[in-house]
Structure formats: structure tokens, C-alpha cells
Amino acid sequence: MAKYSTKFKYEIVKRYLDGEGSYESLSKTFNIPDKHQIRVRVNAYQTLGYDGLKRSRNKKQYSTDFKLKVVKFYLTGEMSYLDLANSLDISNPSMICTWVLKYRNYGIEGLEPKKRGRPSSMTNKDKKTSKSIDKEYSTEQKDRIKELEEQVYWLQMEVDILKKKRELRQRSKLKKKK
């Protein structure tokens, strides 16, 4: 129901709570494709009040520890996604479902925030060094320097990969010991 106004959502919730129709009949009356959306909004209204119906324009950031606690609490089987979201003031219950899936597939690393956007292909340091190279060296020397810089870059990447591989092996050995 993200495309609907808060007043419209409130009207539907109010009609449901006044006993003017079921989830299914209200979804047909107001041309809402899924009755589940009405159930979610009624539940949000009952737990959070009118603010539960408002669409949040700012994105909340949750820490990895918080996500892990929520996932573990859900996996104990005591509450549903909806009940858990309402009790913790999480506006979107499906977010918990996403966290659980990521946790099951990738472990704790799946809950960590990811960098967004396209990575920079050249840092500011590289730009500065290329300017200083232009002044001091011939074109042949510049080409050789660029070639060596690229070779150093790939070797550093290889070292980083090997370090990460070693770290993952150590983690798996620790898990097996536990």
C-alpha cells in the first residue's frame, strides 16, 4: 500500500476496525490487489497508532548486532515476522524475512551493510602521481611506470585474496572446533 496516502490507509483501517468489512471485502471495495496489505496496515495501526500508517521517507539504518539479535529471536520460533516487527518498531516486516534469508545463506557477513554505488577506478593519489609523472619522464618511461603500477595493483589484489582465504579457513576451523 505504499502508493496510497496515509488518509486512505487510515480510512480502510478504520472501516475494518468498525466491523464494516473483512480484509477480502475491503480489498475488493477499494481495488487493493492483496488483502495481506490491509492486514499489515491494521496490525501496524494497532501497535504503532496513526504513525504506523505513515510512509517513512528516511531510510533507517540498523546495526549488524541489532539485525543478528532480531534474526536469532525469530529463529527461536516465538514470534512471527509481523509480531516481531511491531514489537521492535520496524516499519517493514518483510525486512526481517530478508535478514533471516541472508543469515541462513551467508551467516553474519550477510547482515553487514554493503557499499553502494560504483567503485572508483582511480583514487585521488593516483591522479596526483600521474600529474607529477608528466613533468619528469619521457613517454616510454611513463608507459613503463603505468605498466608497473598496474602490475603492483594486481599483485596487491592477489595478496588480499590470499589473506581473505586464510582468514576464512581459520574461521571454518574454529567453527569445527566449537
Per residue in 84-126, pLDDT tens?
887 787 767 788 899 999 999 988 888 888 877 887 777 666 5
Residue 1 pLDDT class (50, 70, 90 cuts): very low
Any residues with CB less than 8 A from the CB of 107 and at least 6 apart, and which? none
Q: Are 91 and 53 a contacting pair, CB within 8 Å?
A: no
Mean pLDDT of 147-152: 90
Q: Is 163 helix (H, G, I), strand (E, B) or coil?
A: helix
DSSP 8-state secondary structure symbol assigned to residue 63: -
What gap in Å lies between CA 116 and CA 100, rounded to an integer? 21
Contact yes or no for 63/24 (Cβ under 8 A): no
C-alpha cell at 161: 585474496
pTM here is: 0.49
Average pLDDT rounded to a whole number, residues 31-42:
82
